Amino acid sequence: MGTVNIVLAAAILVGASSQAPGSLPADAVIPQADALTHLSKRVEPEYPPLAEVAQVAGTIQLDVRIAPDGRVAQVNVFKGIPMLNDAAIAAVRRWTFVPFTMNGQPATVRTILDVTVGGSRAPRPHPQSRSFADAALRCQALVDQQKVREAIAECPSSISLVETMGKGALKERAIAGRLNGTALMLADRPAEALPLFEEVVNALRNGYQASPSEELGLAYLDVGRAARRAGNAKRAEESLGRAEKELAGVRDSLAGYSPDPSWRQPFEEAQARRNNAYAETLTQLIEVLKAAGNARDAAKMQSRLDALLKSRR
C-alpha cells in the first residue's frame, strides 16, 4: 500500500466506524470492526511446522479487498512476519462476507485485518528450538539451490541439535531427516539417505499424522526412491505401496470437493502437486512390481495411472 493510500485509509478509518453499510462509497476503506460484522465464514490459518518449531507466532496485518459478492478479491501484506505471511494470506483468501452495499447496490470495500498465526497454540519453546530452526532454514536454502557440497557440510548440524532436544521433538526430527536425506540423495548417496527418510516416517506415524496423510505419503515416497536407488527392491516395493495407499486416500477424501472461488486457484495448485506425487508413486511402483515379476499388481497400478493421466487432460 503506497503512502497516499495509507493516509487515505487512516483518514477513513478514524471517521467511518459509525457509517452504515448503505452509505459506503465504492471501494471505500472501512475499519476492521465494521468489516468483521459482515464476516460470514472465517478460516483459521494453519501453523507452519517450521514456524512452530522456531516458536515464531504473531499477528499479521493484511490489506484485504472484498468484492461486491462478499468474497475476498485481493490480499496483500500490510505488516507481516515472513515465516507466517503465507499462512495468514491462505486463510483469509477463504473468508467470505455479507456483501457491503452503496445505494442499495453491492460495493467493493477494503480493510486492514489482523490475523494471528500460532498464538496460544505455540507450545513452550525448547531452549534449542530457535537454533534448530535457523539451522534447518540454512540447510533448506542450500538444498533448494542444489548446492550439494555445502548442504552435505551444513545440514547435519540440524540433526545434532535434534539429538539434544529429546525423544519428544518429533516434528524437528521429521524436518531434519527430510532435509538431510534430500541432501544425500542429491549427492547420490541413497544408502545413507534411506535410514533418515525411514526416521521421518517413524516420526510422522508416532507423532502427529493420522492416516491418510499427504505428508506421510510423501515420506513413504522418499523412502521408496532411496530404497530403489540403493538396490533394496523389497523395501522399495513396500514403501511405494504405502505411499500409494496414503496419497490415494487423500485424493479420495477430496473427491467432489468444490472450493470457494476465492480459494480455487491455490487449491488447484495444491491438487496438481498431489497428482504429480501420486503419478510418480504409481510409475515407480509399476516398475518395481514388473521387475519383481508381479504382473497382476503392476497392471492394477497401471490402470490407476492411466485413469489419473486421463483425468488431467
- Domain positions in the chain are 3-121, 129-253+273-311
- Mean per-residue pLDDT, 100-118: 87
Q: Which of 3-12, 13-22, 147-156, 170-179 has the largest mean confidence?
A: 147-156
pLDDT exceeds 70 at position 16: no
Which band of pLDDT confidence, cut at 50, 70 and 90, is reported for residue 72?
A: very high
pLDDT tens, residue by residue, 250-277: 888 777 766 666 567 777 888 888 899 9
**Record: fold of 3-121:** TolA/TonB C-terminal domain (3.30.2420)
How high is the pLDDT of residue 49? 81
pLDDT exceeds 80 at position 174: yes
pLDDT tens, residue by residue, 73-100: 989 888 888 889 999 999 999 999 999 8
How high is the pLDDT of residue 11? 35
Per-chain mean pLDDT for the chain: 84
Compare 122 and 220 and report the one with higher pLDDT. Answer: 220
Compare 18 and 144 and report the one with higher pLDDT. Answer: 144
**Record: fold of 129-253+273-311:** 1.25.40
How high is the pLDDT of residue 29? 80
Q: How many other CB atoms are there within 10 angstroms of residue 148's CB atom?
A: 17
Kindly report the pTM of this predicted structure: 0.67
How high is the pLDDT of residue 260? 60
